Amino acid sequence: MLFPILTWLVATAVALDCSSKDLDSYNFALLQGTHAVESIKDTPPSTTKTTWYFGICESVSSKKAPACPKNVDICGVTEVKVEKDYIVTQVVGFNSNLEKKFTPIESKKENGIKISYKGANWGSSLVDAEIRYICAEDKDGDDTFAVDGWDGEKLSAHVKSKAGCVTSKDDKKKPKKPEDNGESWGWFTWIFIFMVLFLSIYIVGGAWFQYNKGNAIDFQSALREVLENFVDLVRGLPSFIREIIEKVTGSNRGEYSAV
């Protein structure tokens, strides 16, 4: 039981970390959120719509892109409409756990930073992505996302934004709290997980102890006995708590009467 939980923890690792040392000179918090680029093409007798989603400082939102898998930085969804409704025919996802390569862009034409993803699983194939964040000092909230190409093997896209400009720490905008897509863990979830782990260890450990002491014919019998004892304990808790409350309240009433 512990192994699946640890595996799930690894799977939900952070997305594009805007506080990464590689992005320390840039203000990617300006782009935080999920951005979409949509294109529609007539493909008689159907219509094909392709939407690419980019998650900045957080994974692509499952609310904005329900067809996308969870925990992806980039996701492409292709839909085909023959009559009235669109049908999803293709989904490409670049998982947040993929190793990213950061390459500064320094040329006479443009400056910024390039982020590359390599080896994303897509069926039996491996696909790559290359996103260029180009410095556009004149952009003030009107950021431009564009897809340059997708050939089934590599995605090329660029973003024109102030986020691609080298920025001093004093001018940086602090990242806001990522949108809760229902994937984050609250304190209640952690408590529940630790309770389940504790109970599992208690029950299995107790059964193993009973079996090794020779108090049970086999491990299954020992496990059944421990479970029965645990159920009896749970059933007796309400009476035990009620008794304590009655004693406490009765003691308080006695003290009050004496006064």
* Every domain of the chain and the residues it spans: 15-171, 187-258
Q: What is the DSSP string of 176-231?
A: PPPP--S-S--HHHHHHHHHHHHHHHHHHHHHHHHHHHT-SSSHHHHHHHHHHHHH
Position with higher pLDDT, 248 vs 30: 30
- Using alpha carbons, select from 65, 31, 42, 50 the residue that is nearest to residue 173: 31
Query: What's the pLDDT at 122?
Result: 94
| Rounded-to-integer distance, Cα 86 and Cα 40, Å | 12
For residue 58, which phi and psi values (nearest 5 degrees)? -165, 160
Position with higher pLDDT, 5 vs 234: 234
Band (pLDDT 50/70/90 cuts) for residue 225 is confident
Beta strands in the chain (DSSP E): 33-43, 46-56, 72-81, 86-95, 100-106, 111-122, 125-135, 144-150, 154-161
Band (pLDDT 50/70/90 cuts) for residue 9 is very low
The first and second tokens of residue 245, run together, are 């409350």
pTM, full prediction:
0.62
Residues 149-189 have pLDDT tens digits of 999 999 999 999 999 998 866 555 555 555 555 555 567 78
Q: Which residue has the tokens 């992505």?
A: 129
| Rounded-to-integer distance, Cα 205 and Cα 197, Å | 12
How many angstroms separate the first and last alpha carbons of the chain?
Answer: 57
Position with higher pLDDT, 128 vs 108: 128
Query: What's the pLDDT at 172?
Result: 54
Is 83's pLDDT higher than 50? yes
- Using alpha carbons, select from 231, 226, 229 the residue that is nearest to residue 203: 226
Is 256's pLDDT higher than 50? no
CATH code, 15-171 = 2.70.130.10
Is 201's pLDDT higher than 70? yes
| Rounded-to-integer distance, Cα 216 and Cα 176, Å | 57
Position with higher pLDDT, 215 vs 31: 31
Q: Distances in Å between the alpha carbon of 211 and those of 28, 34, 157, 233?
A: 59, 55, 62, 20
Amino acid at 18: C
Give the helix/strand (H/E) hosting 10: helix 2-11
| Rounded-to-integer distance, Cα 190 and Cα 52, Å | 34
